[in-house]
Amino acid sequence: MDICKGDFLHEIIFVILGFVVGVVVGITGIGGGVLMAPSLILLGVEPIIAIGTDLLYAAITKGLGAYFHNKKGNVDKNIALKLFFGSFPAIILGAIILRVVNRDEINSLLTIMLSIILILTSIINLKKEFFYSYRKKCSSKILLFFGFIVGLVVQFTSIGSGVLITFALMNFTDLSSREIIGTSLFYGLLLTFFSSLNYMSLGNVDYMLALLLILGTVPGVYLGSIINSKIKPKNLRKIISIMILIVGIIILVKQIVRQL
């Protein structure tokens, strides 16, 4: 689906999608990555375009968040850069794979990977008390390792720089909650921007679609942050995680059925 060639109704739908995702992010703190890319695919956007566009969208939105957190001193650039140095080889590997693998095979691979990561991240969100129970000593090797793994996942699904890195920072560093959020956003900015360059170079980013999503997301996040201050988001976060789990299963089943 090429949004640039779409009609006004399609444009409104994607602005609304950006708004809804923004509200959810503002209320629950769940990253837009686990919501945006699968929503785009379910709305008919080609997987490789959905992920490439989501990476650019994420780079812009994370950049805004990182800027405000950095002004408040909530970004540990040393840790963020170590994570990114680990991710850089994964970005290079992703660039090679995107260029040598057939487009249809890439779309199939991306869809399967996306569904699996959705299922795993929803489980982590639902059982985070279990995963975040033990804090271990941080080391450069651990940060580089997590950077590579997350970099590879984000390169092909646009998901992971939020949930997975939060998991790593909570378990392997002594950062405060605000520093974890700020550092995750700064690292996510670097990772999604450089990952999006691979998709841009291959013409797999719909810039108009990214603009429409951002137009909806900015007021959505603002409204969500206001709602967040008035309600307890814990139960809503669980509901959203269950929804993500269901969407992941639906996408996976549809892809398996399509290949049979």
Scan for tokens 């929804």, then name that residue: 243
CA distance 86 to 80: 10
DSSP 4: G
Residue 184 · residue 169 · CB < 8 Å = yes
CA distance 142 to 135: 13
Compute, in degrees rounded to 10, the torsion defined by CA atoms 258, 44, 224, 210.
Answer: 130
* Phi and psi, residue 132, nearest 5°: -100, 25
What DSSP element (H or E) covers 132?
none
DSSP 226: H
What is the DSSP code string of 39-54?
HHHHTT--HHHHHHHH
Q: List Cα–Cα distances, 38 to 58, 211, 231, in angstroms.
A: 14, 18, 27
Residue 128 has a pLDDT of: 62
CA distance 111 to 46: 10
CA distance 152 to 22: 25
Query: How far apart are the two ends of the chain, measured CA to CA in Å?
Result: 24
What is the DSSP code string of 73-86?
T---HHHHHHHHHH
Q: Give me the numbers of helices (H) and strands (E) for the chain, helices first please.
A: 11, 0
Per residue in 199-257, pLDDT (tens digit) is 999 999 999 999 999 999 889 888 877 776 676 656 666 766 676 777 778 777 777 77
The reported pTM is 0.79
CA atoms within 13 A on the CB side of 222: 7
Scan for tokens 């291959």, then name that residue: 202
Per residue in 42-85, pLDDT (tens digit) is 888 998 999 999 999 988 888 888 888 888 888 899 999 999 99
Per residue in 156-210, pLDDT (tens digit) is 887 766 767 777 787 778 887 778 878 888 998 899 999 999 999 999 999 999 9
DSSP 1: -
Ramachandran area for residue 173 (φ above 0: left; ψ -120 to 50: alpha; else beta): beta
